[in-house]
Amino acid sequence: MSVMLKKSFLFITSLFIIAFTNGQGIFESASQNQVNSGINLSGYARGEAWGANSSFDYASLFGEFALQGNLQTEKALLKADVRFREGVFLGENKSIVELKEAYAAYRGNTVDLYMGKQIVPWGRTDGFNPTNNLNPCNYFLLTTNPDDQLTGSFMLRTKYRPLRFTELELVFIPVFNPSVYRYDLFEISEEASFINAVLPERTFENGTWAARANFELSKIGFSFSYFNGYDPFYGYQVESVQMQPQPSIVLQPEFYRKQSIGVDFTAPIGTFILRGEAAYNITTGYKNEMHIPNPDIAYVAGIEKNIAGITAIVQYIGKYTINFETLNEPTLTNPANIVEYALTMVNYENTLFNRKIMHQQEEMNHAVMLSLSKSFSFDLITTSISGYYNITSEEYFVRPKINWKMANALTFSAVAIIMNGPEKSIFNNAGKVLGGYGFGLKVNF
C-alpha cells in the first residue's frame, strides 16, 4: 500500500472515529432527529448580453434558469444548486447543464461531516486570496455576478469544534477539477495552436488534501491552512514544434502539484477593518518544466472603511519569487544555426508567457486594488467600481457595476470590464476576449 493510500485510509477513518466519539453518534442522533423545517426551493431566471470587445461583437448571449434547494433538520443538511444555460458563449452555441453544488451533511454539536459537490472558499481578503486553493473557477464565463464563475468539486469534508472559538477543518478531494482558461483564444503566436489538456490519473496519489485551523475571537479572527494537491490555476507547455513545410507550434495546458502553507486574519480597529493573507507555495520540477512556477510567497494586505456611506477597500497584492533567475532572450550569432535559434526562441517566448501567467516575470511583483460601493434610494440602487493596477507589469483592470431593483424580485444589472496592458501581456490578451459591456435582467423566486 502506497504512502498516499495509507494517508487516505487513515484520514477517512479518523473522520468517522471523531464523529462516532462525539457524545452522540451519527446514527444515534439521526434516529432522534425531528424535522425543524421542510425543503426550501428558490431560484431565478435571467437573460444576459455581453459584447463590444475586439474579438467578439457578441461575446456572450444567454438565457439561464436556476433551481436551488436546501433541507435542514436538527442534524442533517441538504443543499443543491443546478443551472440550465443556453446561448452563445465566446463564439460557440452551447446548451449547458451545470450542477454547481449538491451535497449532504451531518451537523452535530462539535463535529460536522459534508460529502458531495461543494464550493469552499478560504481566505479573508477581498478578491485576491492566496490561501484559496480548493475550488476552480470558470474565468471565461461572462456574467454580471462574479460568484457565478465559482465551480464546485467533489469533497469529503469535516469540521471539528473543540472550543467555542476554534474550528478545525479537514478536506479530501479525490478527483482534480481544474479552472477554465481559454489560452486558445489568446494571441500567443500566429504559428501556435492548442490541444486539450490531459487530466491527472484518478488515483489516491493524485488526490488533494487540505486542512485549516480557524479561530474567531472577540477582537480578531485568523486561521492557518495547509494545501497539498494540484493547483486549479495552471499554465501550459510546448508539446511539439515543426519547422517544415511551415512553422507550427503545438501547445498544451499542463497541471502541477504544490504545497501551500497559509495564514489570514481580520481585525477591526476603530472604524477600520484590517485584513491580511499570505501563502508560502512550494513546487518541484520548476527548473525543467516551463508550466511549473518557482516556489513563491504571495501576500495581500487591505483596509476597509465606510466613508459617508461609501464602503472603500484598499489592498496591496504582492509576490516574492524564490530562486528567481533572469530569463535572457536568445540572440542569433550564426545564420547557419537559424533552426536552433528558432527552437530556442519558441522555448523562451512560452517560458516568459508562463511566468507572466504566474506573476513571476520579475523577482518581486507589486499591485494595488481599490473597491468602492454605495447604495441609493433605500437600497433599490447599488453601485460599485473596482480597479486593479499591477505596478510591475503595468497592467490594469476596471469594473464598474450598477444594480437596479426595478420591481419585487426583478433586478437590472449593467457592468463594464476594461482591462489592458503592454503588448503581449496577459491583460492585453484577455481584454480582447473578456473586455466589453454586459447587461442582465433577472427575476428571483
Mapped onto helix, strand or coil, the DSSP state of residue 154 is strand
Contact present, 123 and 132 (Cβ < 8 Å): yes
Per-residue pLDDT, 232? 96
Cell 504566474 sits at which residue? 358
Residue numbers of the chain with a pLDDT score lower than 50: 1, 4-9, 11-13, 15-36
Closest CA to 353 of 252, 235, 432, 242: 235
Between vectors from CA 212 to CA 208 and to CA 214, what angle results, nearest 5°? 160
Query: How far, in Å, CA of 272 to CA of 302, rounded?
Result: 10
Per-residue pLDDT, 191? 87
Per-residue pLDDT, 32? 39
* Mean pLDDT across the chain: 91
pLDDT tens figures, 393-432:
999 999 999 999 999 999 999 999 999 999 999 999 999 9
Q: How many distinct structural domains can be found in the chain?
A: 1
Per-residue pLDDT, 52? 86
CA distances from 344 to 54, 148, 330, 331, 351 (A): 31, 41, 7, 9, 11
Q: Phi/psi at 13 (nearest 5 deg)?
A: -60, -40
- Please compute Rg for the chain using Cα positions: 24
The amino acid present at 75, given as its one-letter code, is K
The amino acid present at 170, given as its one-letter code, is L
Neighbours of 136 (CB within 10 A): 22
Per-residue pLDDT, 37? 56
Contacts of 423 (CB under 8 A, 6+ apart): none
Query: How far, in Å, CA of 14 to CA of 20, rounded?
Result: 10
Range of the domain at 109: 3-444
Query: How far, in Å, CA of 386 to CA of 183, rounded?
Result: 25
Beta strands 192-194; 248-254: pairing state: parallel
pTM: 0.88
pLDDT tens figures, 91-107:
899 999 999 999 999 99
DSSP, residue by residue, 175-232: S----B--GGGS-S-TTEEE----PPPSSGGG-EEEEEEEEE-SS-EEEEEEEEEE-S
CA distances from 261 to 18, 91, 370, 381 (A): 25, 40, 27, 41
Per-residue pLDDT, 333? 85
Dihedral sign of CA atoms 443, 385, 357, 226 in order:
negative
CATH number at residue 192: 2.40.160.10
